[in-house]
Structure 1
């Protein structure tokens, strides 16, 4: 597998750092390599939590979906989610720092499959996701 270009890496970071929904959830991009990404999200009481004061399932689903989608994008392909499933394993308490590691497991011509693992600061698994993504185009370096 070829390494991700600096142009694509910078472009993806810019796109996601400016995305209003990503900003709303306070998601940030950590490590990026081709086929793999690490995202971070705090769990803030009253913002990311449900009535039990643990991370809302929708916030975790958004984090997992974003990690998988960005992992797919690191291959240079623009994708949209076709299908996603998620297993919630352990609650993420308020104020914990969590991260999602997204990985491409199938890089097809028209569809891709990815998975993510959401973990807390003690490396305990909080949730796992798997999704199928439809390729709608390619990212192109317009810097030539």
Structure 2
């Protein structure tokens, strides 16, 4: 995929994240985008946390799914998650900034696989994840207009 297409995907994501979807709640920011890999950041706020004041596991799982799924999208594929595994290693509280990286490890015609990692401000690993995605078809500008 050429640089122009990746920039279009980045702009598409920024526009889509203005609509009332999960990414809006998460307030994710796209930091880097390249073929098969993305990097996001997010400032943790109270609504992302559980009753103990730490980032909710569901929030971290959602972030993992987003970054791994978008890494597949950068290869021009429309996908849906078929399975996902999440390992919670460490947690953070509100006020922290986290970074999430998604990377494709298998670019199949019908099934794609990706891994995800989430880090705190000190580059300590918080979450390690992996997922499989079913390929619905191609993701193209003709299908999705901004």
When normalised by structure 1's length, the TM-score is: 0.90
In structure 1, the gaps of 5 or more residues are none
Residue 26 of structure 1 and its aligned partner are, at CA, apart by 1.2
Deviations 1:96-126 (A, max 9, x none): 0001100000000001000110001100000
**Which residue does the alignment assign to 2:35?**
34
**What is the aligned partner in structure 1 of residue 82 from structure 2?**
82
Label 1:70 to 1:16 Cα distance change in 2 as closer, same or farther (>3 A): farther
CA contact (8 A) 1:106 1:114 kept: yes
Contact 1:86/1:130, CA 8 A, preserved across alignment: yes
Q: Number of paired residues?
A: 141
CA distance in 2, matches of 1:91, 1:31: 24
Cα 1:16/1:137, change in 2 over 3 Å: farther
Residue 45 of structure 2 is matched in structure 1 by 44
* Aligned twin of 2:59: 59
Q: Secondary structure at the match of 1:126?
A: strand
Q: 1:17 offset after TM fit, Å?
A: 4.5
CA distance in 2, matches of 1:32, 1:19: 23
Shift of 1:18: 3.4
Q: Alpha carbon RMSD of aligned pairs, Å?
A: 1.6
| CA positional deviation for 1:19 | 5.2
1:130 matched to 2:130? The reply is yes
Contact 1:44 1:95 in 2 (8 A): yes
Separation in 1 of the partners of 2:38 and 2:113? 14
Question: What is the deviation of 1:134?
Answer: 0.4
The 8 Å contact of residues 3 and 33 in structure 1, kept in 2 or not, is answered as no
Q: Structure 2, unaligned stretches of length 5 or more?
A: none
Q: 2 CA distance for matches of 1:8 and 1:63?
A: 18
Q: Give the aligned partner of residue 10 of structure 1.
A: 11
Q: Is the 8 A contact 2:10 2:30 kept in 1?
A: no
Task: List, as ranges, runs of 4+ consecutive aligned residues in structure 1 with deviation greater than 4 Å.
Answer: none
